[in-house]
Amino acid sequence: MMTIPKRHPDGTEGKTFFVSTAAESHRFLLQTDRMKNLVIEVLYEYRKTGEFLLHEFVIMPNHLHLIVSVPEGSSLSRVMQLIKGRSSYEAKKRFGIPLTIWQRGFSDDYLPNAEKYASFRRYLLENPVKARLVERSEEYPYCSSFPGVVLDPSPFMSRAKAR
């Protein structure tokens, strides 16, 4: 059965989204450091090539949350297809994992303003804390708040703050 890409009334290109996607059957397929590092590698590979802007992320043992902006000429469906497809391919190639890594589809929320962005960012950063993996999100190496993580600035950051 063919999956129909998610569509938004006015398209997804040029917009910012909070995205969630789960491991197949919500299994803990992302619990190892090597799997989480692989997903980070894929995120940065596609960020570097301009497939999307990466604003925030957290990789949990059984799901992934992102805040991304979709460039002109692309779509959120394409962004997620690239991330999930490449990480699945590399997991099978490098680690011999014969399983399907990701559940089909994803959920997303359009972030049209700074308030909504801040709310979803807070939720994303609280994930490892609420799961009792760490006391503060800055302690979780698979979260965008970890020291040294390079991100694209929020599209809602004022020019003064961006400097």
CA distances from 121 to 18, 74, 143 (A): 8, 23, 11
C-alpha 155: how far from chain center:
16
Contact 94, 38 (CB under 8 A): yes
Q: How many CA atoms lie within 13 A of 99 on its CB side?
A: 13
Answer yes or no: pTM beyond 0.75.
yes
> Residue 58's pLDDT is what?
99
For domain 16-158, the CATH superfamily is Transposase IS200-like (3.30.70.1290)
Q: Spell out the per-residue pLDDT of the chain, length 163, in tens.
A: 444 444 443 478 889 999 999 999 999 999 999 999 999 999 999 999 999 999 999 999 999 999 999 999 899 999 999 999 999 999 999 999 888 899 999 999 999 999 999 999 999 999 999 999 999 999 999 999 999 999 999 999 854 344 3
Q: Write the CB contacts of 89 (distance below 8 Å, at least 6 apart in sequence).
A: none
